[in-house]
Amino acid sequence: MESGDRLNCAVRMGGAMTVHLPSQIGRWFNRLSPMQAMLFGYGFLLLLALIDYSSDITISFSVFFLIPVLVVGGRASLRAATLMSFISATLWEAINRRDIGVSISLGIHLWNLGTRSLTGWR
């Protein structure tokens, strides 16, 4: 089975794919069940949001908001990864909105939330 076929099968079935990462990280990641991946993702996201909220605005944690999305996407389902992406982008935007104030219109914040949910980048 080719790589593209395995990806299509995993997306259709909502199953996990084997990922080739450096030794210990890869073994840990490949042993996660979908439920464990989601619990890790939500726990990591909560911890990251608390750290980002309490830190100075000059310190950016933006790239770390992708980690729970990648873990859930790799081990759970596409639906769970999409939900994690939306929650991650919502928290990220809420924290940024608090840090920079409300000087930007709500429409721009909603646009940023939507694009960050889809792409995962600023």
Q: How far apart (Å, rounded) are the C-alpha atoms in residues 86 and 78?
A: 12
* Model confidence pTM above 0.95: no
- Name residue 76's amino acid: A
Residue with tokens 């990251």: 48
Please give the residue range of the domain that contains residue 8: 3-119
Confirm if 60 and 106 have CB atoms less than 8 A apart. no
Query: Domain count of the chain?
Result: 1
pLDDT tens for each residue of 12-59: 445 555 555 667 777 777 788 899 999 999 999 999 999 988 887 777
Overall size of the chain counted in residues: 122
- Name residue 41's amino acid: G
